[in-house]
Amino acid sequence: MTEKRDIVVIGAGDYAQNMIDLFSLEDRLAYIFDAPRFEGESKYGVPVIKMAGSPDLQYVSLIGEPPHKRELIKELEEYALCFSSTGFKPHYFNLLNSTNDWAKSVKTGIGVSSQAYVCVNTRSVIGNHVLLGNHVVVGHDCEIGDYSTIYAGTILSGHTIIGEGVEMGAGSRTIPKVKIGDWSVVGAGAVVTRDIPSFSVAYARGVKAEVHRVIEKR
């Protein structure tokens, strides 16, 4: 018997499709919500639409790019305000793979998704709508801000602070107690050995991550 179609996936890109496959969500998909450029497409037999609102639906954001993720979440929240009289308020859920190992003391926000073999250690805090790729390790006492994306194989050492909307490239690393500012991007394979300011792009020259340019706005 087919399960009730009660899930709206926010995102129509490769990561969303990978997570739908990984968690076998095909039979529970009601809609896929993304930008207008995807509207009218169909994936897994359900339509990609610009907006969907119902108190009977559950939402999860499956988008890698933090600015796009924030944009769609804000659109959904604004839509909910307009139709609050109907009882619509987005209900976000977390999509965590069964192979994950999360300490009991970890505090987790809403709309969080993680792929396989993710380890999150004691007293760490995972913000809202955070994406964690395969084999990510989050050390003890770390903080990851809302909308951030930590790509596959990244290792965050203890007491690392990740700001809002940060992208950590695949295989990147941090030493303990560094802080990466809001809306910054760290390139794949880079080792962060000192604080990175907000709105910066840092990538490896050799091994260590160095800031190479500033992002004007995200």
Q: How confident is the model at residue 2, as a pLDDT?
A: 47
Share of the chain above pLDDT 70, in %: 88
Residue that the structure tokens 């700001």 belong to: 163
In contact, 192 and 180? CB cutoff 8 Å: yes
pLDDT tens digit string along 73-82? Answer: 998 888 777 7
Region 13-28 average pLDDT: 87
What is the average per-residue pLDDT within 28-49? 80
Q: How far is CA 49 from CA 36, 61, 65, 171, 210, in A?
A: 7, 14, 19, 34, 40
pLDDT at 168 over 60: yes
Domain spans of the chain, in order of start: 7-92, 95-214
CATH superfamily, with its number, for domain 95-214: Hexapeptide repeat proteins (2.160.10.10)
Are 7-92 and 95-214 the same fold in CATH? Answer: no
Higher pLDDT pick, 208 / 114: 114
Residue 182 pLDDT: 97
CA distances from 75 to 11, 26, 89, 153 (A): 13, 24, 13, 31
- Examine the pLDDT at 191 and tell me if it is beyond 60: yes
Order across the sheet with 137-138: list the strands: 101-102, 119-120, 137-138, 155-156, 173-174, 191-192
pLDDT score of 30 more than 60: yes
CATH architecture of the domain formed by 7-92: 3-Layer(aba) Sandwich (3.40)
- Residue 202 DSSP class: E
The pTM score is 0.88
User: Are the C-beta atoms of residues 183 and 201 closer than 8 Å to each other?
Assistant: no
Average pLDDT over residues 6-21: 88
Q: Are 181 and 171 contacting, i.e. CB atoms less than 8 angstroms apart?
A: no
Average pLDDT over residues 84-88: 67
Max mean pLDDT range (48-52, 54-58, 197-201): 197-201
Tell me the per-residue pLDDT of 99-136, one tens digit each, with 9 for 90 and over.
999 999 999 999 999 999 999 999 999 999 999 999 99
What are the distances in angstroms from CA 39 to CA 12, 28, 62, 65? 10, 20, 17, 19
